[in-house]
Amino acid sequence: MWSHHCTALGNYINTEDGCPCHWCGTAPPEGNTKLPLNPPVPRMPQIDRPHRWSDDKLSEFHAEFVIHAKMEEKRFEAFMQAFPNGDPAAHRAVHDAMLEAAQEQTRFLREIKLDFAKKSLWGILMLLCGLLAAGLMIKTGLKL
C-alpha cells in the first residue's frame, strides 16, 4: 500500500502497491512504497452547526473509509501472523517457556560454578595439608 494526496478526492488515501490511484490516476512512487506508521485517517470535518452532507461528499467519505478499513484489516492480518496459528495466548506461552528455560539455565550454571569453587577450595586445602604433613615428616625425620 502507498499513501498520497488524491487530487480528485482532496484528501490522503492509501492505494495498493504498484497500482495507480483509482480516482486521480497518480502513479505510485519509485522505491519504498511502505505506508507510514500512522497514515492520515479520513475524518469528518468539524462544523459548528449541524450540516447535511451531500450525497457526493458522503460517497467520497465512504470510499475513503472502505480503503481505510481494508488497510486496517491487512495490518491486523499481518500482526496476527506473528502468532502461531493466529493465537496470541500460544505466542505468550512460547515466550514464557523461553524465559523459564533461560532462568533454569542461569540457575544450572550458577550451581556448576559454586560446585567448582567448593571442589577447587577443597582440593587446595588437601594439597596444603599434604605439603604440611610432608614438611613435618621431613623435619621430624619420619619415614614412610
Cell triple for 120: 577447587
Taking only the tens place, the pLDDT of each residue in 6-36 is 665 556 666 665 566 655 666 666 654 554 5
Taking only the tens place, the pLDDT of each residue in 71-117 is 999 888 888 887 778 788 888 888 899 999 999 999 999 999 999 99
Are 2 and 29 in contact, with CB atoms under 8 Å apart? yes
Where do the structural domains in the chain lie, given as residue ranges?
Answer: 2-39+52-81, 93-144
